[in-house]
Every structure is written in C-alpha cells, then in structure tokens.
Amino acid sequence: MTDNTPTKQLAQRFPSNFVVGAATASWQVEGDSQGRGSSIWDDFAAVPGNIADGTKADPACDHVNRLEEDLDNLAWLGVDAYRFSVSWPRVMPGGKGKSEKGLEFYERLVDGLRQRNIKPVLTLYHWDLPSELEAIGGWNNKDIHNYFAEYTDLVASRLGDRVEMWATLNEPWVSAYLGYTTKIHAPGHGDAAKGFEAAYRLMTAHASGLEVLRSHGLKNLGTVLNLTTAIADEPEVEHVADYVDLLQNRFWLDLLAGRPLEQKLFDNTKDITDWSFLDQDQLKKIAAPIDWLGINYYTPFRVIAASVQSKQAVGQDFSLFPGTPAGAAMNPLEPRTEMGWEIHAPSMTATLKQTASRLPGVPLYVTENGGAFDDKLVDGEVHDKGRVDYYLNHISAALDAMDQGVDLRGYFAWSLMDNIEWAEGLAKRFGIFYVDHVTQVRTPKDSAKLIKELTSLRN
Ligand code: IFM
C-alpha cells in the first residue's frame, strides 16, 4: 500500500463542481495527415532543421486510429473533462467547404466522451492553420476573422449540441510571437511587425468566433491564454519585467476587458510598427464578454540585470518581446524541466490572482499545466517523480489561489499523452501516459496514477 495521504488531502480540497481534466491538441496527437488538408505545421515540418528531430505529422500518437483506446484511458483516469482541439484543415481542407470524414471523426470523439461521462472541451484553433490561408497572409490577412467565423460556424453547426465548453483560441501569444515575430514555430516569418499584427488579428478572429458561437445559442464560451508572472530579481530590471508582463499578459487581458492598449506598448514598438491595423469597431467586438478564461501556466519569466543570457529555456528569449529595453537577461532558476523552464509553483498562484484582478468577474480554468521530464519506461512502469511532484505542487498552488478568492473552476493536466512538442519534436515528453513512438503502446506513468487517485479520492 502506498501512502496516499498527501494526495487525499489535496483531492479533498477540490470543491464539488471543480472540473479535473486532461488536454491534447490536434496536430500534436492525431497523425493521419492524409485524411485532412495541409496545415502550416506540415509545411514547417517539411523544412529540414525546423523540428529538432525531424518529426513530421505522422504518426504522432496515431490518435485518429486509436481513439477508443485513448477515450478508455481518459475514463480510467476518472477525469471530468477532456480538452482537445479541432484541426481546421481536417474539417475544412484548404480553409473552405467541409470534409464529412473530418467532421465524423470529431463526432465520434465527442460522442465517445459523452458515453463515458466526460465533458468535451473544444478548442477551435490550436495552431494548425490551413496552408492555403497562410498563402493569403494567414494571421496578417485583414479578413482572417471572416475565415475563422466560417470555420467556427461549421464546427458549431455540427457539434454545438454536444460540446460542454468552447475555446476560440489556444495561446495567441505563441501563434504570434513564436510563429510570426520569430521563426521558432510555423509559419516562421521572423518579422516583429508581422508578429504584432498577428497578435491583434488573432483576437479579431476570437471576437468573430465568439459571435458565431453565440449566434448558435451556445453557452460556456471562452478563450485560452498562456499567462505567467514576470519576476524582476533586481530593482534595476523592474521596467524590463514590466514590459514582458505587458506583452505576455496585459495586452490580451486589456483587449478582453475593453481597456485601451497601453502607451508603453506604442512607445516601445514605434520603430517596428505604427499599429495602423487597429480598428475601433473590432476592438469593441474583442471586448465582448466571455463566460470563462483558460490559463495555460507552466513557468515564470525571471529577469535579471545582465548582458548575456545565462541559461537556455525554450520560449524564454527577449526576441519574443520586441521592444524590450536593453540590459537584462532571462534567468530560469533550478529546478528546471527538460524545456529549461523553472519550476516555481508559487507563480501559479500569483498568475491566477493577478489575472483575476485584471479580468474581474470572469471564472478561470487552468486549461494546461505540466512539465517535460526525462521519462524512462522500465518493466512497464514510468516512475516520473519529477512530474508527480510538479502536479502535487501546482495543483495545490492553484487551489491556494482559489482559497484566496479566485473563482477557479477547474484544472487540466498537459498532456494526456506524450506527443509532438512542436519544434522540439518527440523528445520532450509532457504526457501522463507514456507513448512508445514506435509501437504506439500507451503506459500510464506514476503521474497518471496520481491523477486517477485524485479523481477517486475527492469528496
Ligand atoms: O505542447 C504545448 C501546447 O501545445 C500548448 N501549451 C504549451 C504546451 C507545452 O509547450
């Protein structure tokens, strides 16, 4: 018998309606690229060097063909909800029309969840833009929100009666800054002006998508941001951390709250863009009320005064924050995950509290949280103690925020299974199920057993 006391104590802190779930995203798990249209990630992966280990969309986790097994794994975990994303090019190859076969796949997914009493939580855009839409400017096309509206209408018409919660976007910061500002992600523009425009146009798509979902009479509508705390370790870099906080957090929350964008943003970026693409009517639409906000939290951004970046962490680089004042460095402290990300659970509490105060009255969910660790499958077991501790500490930190007044409604582990970690390929494992990428055998890690214990031990 293992001592499950800390798990039990944690489980008993969940309020009765608290949603515990696990999450994935289409391109990272589905495979079956022949059964759909092409996306920017297929194009990006085709260029040698873009993805660390040369991974391509197939087979990923072969989720399309192993759906029933993955649904059974979710049921085994005892989770209340599964957060997945729809692949735009699977249901609308080329960004127009529709694919019956693609829609049927998501129908099977949603129905399979409901049969198992698991709430479907659907994200419309988790980064796999149809290639044909990128060819006409992608997230810099001034009509992109109309294309997104058509896509949303298709998905809502087909699945609207069966999905519990809807998210328009996943982490628009990543789409804009890793995909447009830098070349880290697809489509890989490396152009700071394009990145700022993409950030704004993603939010116009959010607004149009939300409008379409509402026009279908749907409820429980939100969006998902990757938010965190920017920590200045020295007083002389407080203004740098403040600017990181502005681009990473306040920009999005100000837009959603209908507050004007800060003068500091315009001042710091005046040599990059004149922001002439902003449109007052669109800004008003972006501020339409949402029913919930999802926060993907992994790690803080820690800033020190220095001229040389001392440690490498994926996605922690000032090139992702154009306009950052000089003289500082990112400094993720130990312990760190395999991504180089500092493990610091108190920042989870701080992020939730800060977000609640910046977007008052909107219920929050942690829609992603987890870590990449160096997992080893030995005799059918994966003792991922680092991840188990990460989950115990971060779930506790999330519940601390709730105890301190944050309206937190749920928590989703990232990820249900090891998958394609974008430009990092298959080497970075975030799953609670270990996936053998040759045989596709899934094995619950100790962290999966922890989640199972948490769901079974709550009141
Ligand atoms: O794998 C990603 C996911 O697609 C979006 N949020 C962060 C995760 C880990 O990097």
End-to-end CA distance of the chain: 21
Residue having the nearest C-alpha atom to atom 9 of ligand 1 = 421
Q: Which CATH number do you get for residue 143?
A: 3.20.20.80
* Residue 421 CB–ligand 1 contact under 6 Å: yes
What are the catalytic residues?
A: 171, 368
Tokens of 275: 């922001």
Global pTM reads 0.98
Mutate to test the pocket of ligand 1, among 430, 432, 435 (most ligand atoms within 8 A of CB): 430
**224 Cα–ligand 1 center, Å:** 12
* Local confidence band at 292 (pLDDT 50, 70, 90 cut-offs): very high
Q: Could you list the residue range(s) of the whole structural domain that residue 404 is in?
A: 4-456
Return the bridge partners of 294, or none: 224, 365
**225 Cα–ligand 1 center, Å:** 11
How far is CA 359 from each of CA 17, 116, 293, 406, rounded to the nearest angstrom?
Answer: 22, 34, 9, 11
Instruction: Read off the pLDDT of residues 391-407 as tens digits, 9 standing for 90 and up.
Output: 999 999 999 999 999 99
Q: State how many domains the chain has.
A: 1
* Local confidence band at 1 (pLDDT 50, 70, 90 cut-offs): very low
* Residue 318 CB–ligand 1 contact under 6 Å: no
Instruction: Read off the pLDDT of residues 86-101 as tens digits, 9 standing for 90 and up.
Output: 999 999 999 999 999 9
* Local confidence band at 424 (pLDDT 50, 70, 90 cut-offs): very high
Residue 78 has what pLDDT?
A: 98
Give the side-chain half-sphere CA count within 13 A for 195: 28
Per-chain mean pLDDT for the chain: 97
Residue having the nearest C-alpha atom to atom 4 of ligand 1 = 25
**279 Cα–ligand 1 center, Å:** 30
